[in-house]
Structure 1
Amino acid sequence: MNESYRLGEQSIIAYLQRLANGVSTAELDVAALPTELCAIGEQLQKTFAILQQERELLERGAYIDSLTNLGNRAGLHRYAELLWHKGTPFTCAYIDIDRLKHCNDTFGHTEGNRYILSICRALTETMEPNDLLFRIGGDEFVLVSPTTDEAELEQRLERTRTDLIEATSGGKAPMIASFSFGCSRVDPLAGDTRRQMTMDADRKMYRYKLMHRVQQPKENDASMRPIADQPPCNDRVFQAISMSSETRYPFILNLDTGESQWSINAVRDFDLPSQHPYNSLDMWLARVHPEDRDNVRSELDMVVNGAWHFHYMQYRVMNTAGKYALCECTGYRLDSTETEPNMYVGIIINRSLADTTDSVTGLGDIHALVNAIGEMRRVARKAGLVAIKIDDIAKVNARFGFDAGDRVLAESAACLMDCSRGKGRLFRSTGPMFVALFDDLDPEETDAIAEEIERFLGSPVLFGSFEYQPPIRVATLHLDAVDRQPVSILNELKALLEEAPQVPGTKLD
C-alpha cells in the first residue's frame, strides 16, 4: 500500500469520525484523495448531504409551526433551555388572539387561518432584531425579547394592537382583528423556573383581555345578545343552594343560548363579570391555569358536543387576588327535551379555601386524603392509588433552606397535576409523600399515569445558578373495593414506596 493511499484512507476515516461526533461542518477534500478513493469520497459527501437535508426537514417539522413558519411549543422549550444555560434576564410576552373561535365558526377555518397570519405579520413587524416569536397553540403566541424591558415591550405591543384594530375597522375586514397580551421579566439566575416563564405574563394577559374587549359590529350570534330578562333557572332556589357553603360554587349553563348562572360566591371569589354572563365557558377557561387549560378545554368540548355527559376534573383557577386556587369540578350534561334546552349543570369546589389544604402545594392534606378514602370505603368503590415520594428533601432543606425544599415540593405538585390530567384527586400525604387517588380508571389507565409520573415528575429547580433534579419513587396500589381503614391503606402505600426503585436525580452528597 503506497503512502498516498494510506493518507487518503486516514482522511476519510477522520471525516467519518467528525460526522459521528456531530460536526455538521466537517469537510472532505475529494480532490486531494488518490484516484482510486475519489469515487468513495464523492459518494460519502453525497450521502452526508442527503442525510443532512433529511435531518433539517425532520427538525423543522419538530420545532416549526407549519402555518406560520414560527417556532412551535417544542421550539420554545428548546430556546428556553438555551436561555437558562446562558442565565441572562429577558422579557416574555404571552399573546392571545381575540375571538379566533368566533372567526372560525362564523367565517370558516380558511378565514381563521388568514386571521392568524395577519396577527403573525403584525407581531413580526414590531419585533427587534434579537426578538423571537413562537406560536405555541391555536391562538397563543409567546414573544421573547432579550434586550427590551417589560414597559417598553408593553408599549410596542399596545401600538401594534391599536394599529391592527384601526386597519380592520369600518368594514375593511370580515371582523376587527385584535389580540390581548401580558408581559413579564424573567431572570433565570434569580431562581425563576421554566414553569414560571410564561405564568406571570399569561395572568396579566387574561386580565388585559377582560379589560380591553373589542366590540365587533353587527353581531347577531347568541354569544353577543343582551342578557335575558329571566335567568336560566329559579333565581331564589339557586341562590339558596349557592349560599350553603363558602367553598362550593354551583353553576348552570344553557348550551343552546350561552346563558349561564353562577353563585354570588363565585362572582366574588373569581372576579366574574356578573351572575349571568354569556360565553361563560370561554370566560371560565380564561381563568384556568395555562398548564391545565388544554386538558380542561378538551373535556368541556366533549360535553358541549354531546360526546360525554359527565365531567370531573381537578385543576387550578385564578381567583380575584390573582393567585391560582385548586378547584374540583363535577358537571353533568342534560340533553334537551321539547320544553327544555341542552344544559350543563354542576358544582365547583374551591379546595384552596378548605381547612384540609396543604399550604405549600395547594393540594389536599393528609386529613383530606383520609376523608376521601373513607368516603370510597362507605360506598365500596374500587380505587387506584399512586404514591410518590420526593427523596432527599431533608438534604435540600439543610443545604439551601426550608424555602428551597418547599419550592421543590410545589414544583413537584404542579408537575403531578400535569401528569394526572385532572382525572384523579391529588393530596400531599405526609412530608415529601404525595398520593393520587383514582376512582373511575381501569388499572391499566392508572398504571399508564404512574409511568408518566415516573418519567416526568421532578422538574429541575434552580437555586441561584445550581439546577437541582429531585430523585423520586413511585408505587401503585389497585383495590377492587376499599374495604379497609384509610390508615391501613396508607401504611401499605408507604411500604410499597420503600421497595420501589428510585428514579435518580441530583446527588447532594
Structure 2
Amino acid sequence: MNESYRLGEQSIIAHLQRLANGTSTAELDVAALPTELRSIGEQLQKTLAVLQQERQLLERSAYVDSLTNLGNRGGLDRHVDQLWLKGTPFTCAYIDIDHLKHCNDKFGHAEGNRYILGICRALTEAMEHDEMLFRIGGDEFVLVSPTTGEAELEQRLERTRTDLVEATSDGKAPMIASFSFGCSHVDPLAGDTRRQMTMDADRKMYRYKLMHRVQQPKEDNAPMRPIADQLPCNDRVFQAISMSSETRYPFILNLDTGESQWSVNAVRDFGLPSQHPYNSLDMWLARVHPEDRDNVHAELDMVINGTWHFHYMQYRVMDATGAYVLCDCTGYRLDGTDTEPNMYVGMIINRSPADTTDSVTGLGDVHALVNAIGEMRRVPREAGFIAIKIDDIAEVNARFGFDAGDRVLAESAACLTDCSRGKGRLFRSTGPTFVALFDDLDPEETNAIAEEIERFLGSPVLIGSLEYQPPIRVATLHLDAVDRQPVSILNELKALLKEAPQVPGTKLD
C-alpha cells in the first residue's frame, strides 16, 4: 500500500470522526483523495447527503408543527432551554384560540385548520423580528419575546385580537375569529422558575377567556338541549370559581348522563381529557392509587345509588406527571326532580403540591403540616392528632443503606394510609415521624384509629433476606379547638412520643 493511499484512508476516517463528534459539517474533499479512493469518496458523500436529509426530516418532525410550520412543544422547550442557559430575561404569552371545538364540530376539521392558520397568520404579522411563535397543542400557542415587556406585549396582542374580531364579524366568515391570552415575564437569574412562568401565564390566559371570550352568533332555529343533557352550571361562572385557588378543584357530575364539569386546573394538574368528559367516575378511579381504589370505589357506589348523600375521603391520585399526590375529596349528592338531574357536586383539594411533598413517602411534608394546622385554627372545631415515630431508622440506614430506610418509611406511610381509612390528613413531619390530622373526631374515635395503627403499622418489611418489623411509638392528642400555634402543637406531640411506650419490633443488635 503506497503512502498516498494510506493518507487518503486516514483523511476519510478523520472526516467521519469529525461528523460523528459534531465538530464539523463540511463535505469531504473528494478531489484531494488519491485516484483509486475517489469513487469510494463520491459514494460516501451521496450516502452522507441522504443521511443528512433524513436527519433534517426527523428533527423537523421533533421540533416543527406540520400544519403551521411553527415550532411545536419540543421546539419551545429547546428554545426556552437556550434562553435559560444564557440567563436571558424574556416574556412569554400563552395564547388559546376561542371556540376551535365549535368550529370543528359545526364546519368540519378542514375549516378548523383554516381557522387555526388565520389566527396563526395574524399573530405572526404582529410579531417583532426577535420573537418566536410556537404551536404546542391543537388550539394553544406560545409567543416568546426576549425584548418586549409584559404590558407592551399585552397591548400588542389586544390590538391584534380586536382587529381579528372586527374583520370577521361581518357575517361573511364562518366564525368570528378571536383568541385569549396571558403574559408572564421571567428572569432566570433572579430565581424565577419555569413552573412559575407557566402557571402565571396560564392563569392570566384563563382569566382573560372568562372575561372577554367572544360569543358566536346563535342560529335562529337551533333546538334547545334537553334538560338532562345540559351542563349543570354556567361554564363561565364555574371556571371563575375554579380560578380562585390553584390546588382546589371543584367538579360537577350529572349522575343521569355521566357528563361532568372539571376545573381548568384539574385538567392541567391531573391530565384529564377535557373539562367536560363523560364516564368521569371511571376516568377518575383509573387515576386513584391501586391500594386506595377499592375503598374509594365502594364509597362512591354508595353515593351513586343514593345510600349516602355525603362523601369524604383522603387518598392518593396520579397527577399529570405520573406521580401520586395526596388529595382530600369531599362531595354531596343532590337528588333530581322532574326537571333536574341527579348530581354529585364536590371539591378535591391537592394536599401535595410539588414544593410541600415528601419525596420518599408521597405524603405532605412538615411545611404542609404547619399549613394544615394553621387552616384548622380558622374554624373552631374538635381535632384529633396522632403522632407516629418509626424507631431504629438510623440503625437501618447504617446497616443496610438509605434505600432500605426509605423503603421502611414508604411502606409505613402506605400502611398508615390504610389504617386512617381516608378520614385523616397524613404528613411526614420530620425524619421518621408521621402525623395524622382528623377533623371533627371525638377522643374515642381518635384512640380507636391509634390502636389500629399500633396493631398494623409495624408490618414486616423485607430487607434482603431479613424480614424486618420496625419498632414504633404512637401518641394521641385531642383538642376541642385548635387555638395554638402549629409549632406549639408539634412540640407537644414530640413530648408525648418521647413518653409513649415502644411497640417492639425486630432487634438489629
TM value normalised by structure 2 = 0.57
Q: How far does residue 108 in structure 1 lie from its aligned partner after superposition? A: 2.0
**Residue of structure 1 equivalent to 2:273:** 297
Correspondence for 1:143: 143
Note the C-alpha offset of 1:174: 1.1
Task: Report the 3-state secondary structure (helix = DSSP H, G, I; strand = E; otherwise coil) of the residue aligned with 1:208.
Answer: helix
The question of whether the paired residues in 1 share the 8 Å contact of 2:89 and 2:185 is answered with yes
Whole-angstrom CA distance in 1 between matches of 2:141 and 2:85: 23
Instruction: Find the structure with the greater CA-based Rg.
Output: 2
Residues 329 and 348 in structure 2, CA contact (< 8 A), matched pair in contact too: yes
Aligned residue in 2 for 1:18: 18
Match of 1:397 in 2: none
Aligned CA distance change for structure 1 residues 332 and 88 (closer, same or farther; 3 Å) = same
| 2:99 is the counterpart of 1:123 | no
Alignment partner of 2:272: what SS?
Answer: helix
Taking the TM superposition and a 5 Å limit, the aligned residue runs for 1:186-265 are: 186-219=186-219, 256-260=229-233
Instruction: Describe the shift of the 1:43–1:292 C-alpha distance in structure 2 as closer, same or farther (beyond 3 A).
Output: same
Q: Structure 1: which amino acid aligns with 2:108?
A: G
Is the CA contact 1:364–1:427 (under 8 Å) kept in the aligned structure 2? no
Deviation string 1:68-108 (CA, Å, 9 cap, x unpaired) is 22111122112222111111100011111111122222222
Assess, with a 3 A threshold, how the Cα gap between structure 1 residues 491 and 91 changes in structure 2: closer, same or farther: farther
Which residue of structure 2 aligns with residue 163 of structure 1? 163
CA RMSD of aligned residues (A): 5.2
1:114 and 2:92 equivalent? no
Instruction: Give distance in 1, aligned partners of 2:426 and 2:126.
Output: 45
Cα distance in 2 between the residues matched to 1:205 and 1:169: 23
What does residue range 25-64 of structure 1 map to in structure 2 within 5 Å? Answer: 25-64=25-64
Pairwise CA distance, 1:37: 0.5
Kept in 2, the 8 Å contact 1:363–1:426? The answer is: no
Q: Which has the higher contact order (CA 8 A, sep 6+)?
A: 1
Residue pair 1:91, 1:144 contacting (<8 A) in 2 also:
yes
Question: How many pairs align?
Answer: 357
User: How far has the Cα of 1:296 moved from its partner?
Assistant: 2.2
Shift of the alpha carbon at 1:117?
A: 1.3
Structure 2 residues not aligned, in runs of 5+: 289-316, 320-324, 353-362, 376-383, 387-401, 405-423, 435-448, 467-509
Q: How does 1:99-498 map to 2 (within 5 A)?
A: 99-219=99-219, 256-260=229-233, 284-286=262-264, 288=265, 291-292=268-269, 295-298=271-274, 300-303=276-279, 328=328, 345-350=344-349, 360=367, 428-431=427-430, 485-486=452-453
**2:267–2:273 Cα contact (<8 Å) kept:** no
Is residue 64–residue 75 contact of structure 1 (8 Å, CA) maintained in 2? yes
Change (3 A) 1:427 1:124: farther
- Where structure 1 has 5 or more consecutive residues not aligned to the other structure, the ranges are 229-253, 317-324, 374-388, 392-424, 436-481, 500-509
Q: Give the share of equivalent positions with the same residue, in percent.
A: 60
Shift of the 97–154 alpha-carbon distance from structure 1 to 2, 3 Å rule, reads: same
- SS of residue in 2 equivalent to 1:301: coil
* Contact 1:365–1:427 (Cα < 8 Å) also in 2: no
Following superposition, the deviation at residue 66 of structure 1 comes to 1.8
Structure 1 pair 14–152 and aligned structure 2 pair: CA distance change class (3 A) = same
Question: Aligned to 1:14, what secondary structure does the other structure show?
Answer: helix
Q: 1:168 to 1:129 in 2, by over 3 A?
A: same
TM-score scaled by structure 1?
0.57
Cα distance change, pair 309–360 in 1 and its aligned pair in 2 (3 A): closer
Q: CA distance change for structure 1 residues 267 and 291 in 2, over 3 Å: closer, same or farther?
A: closer
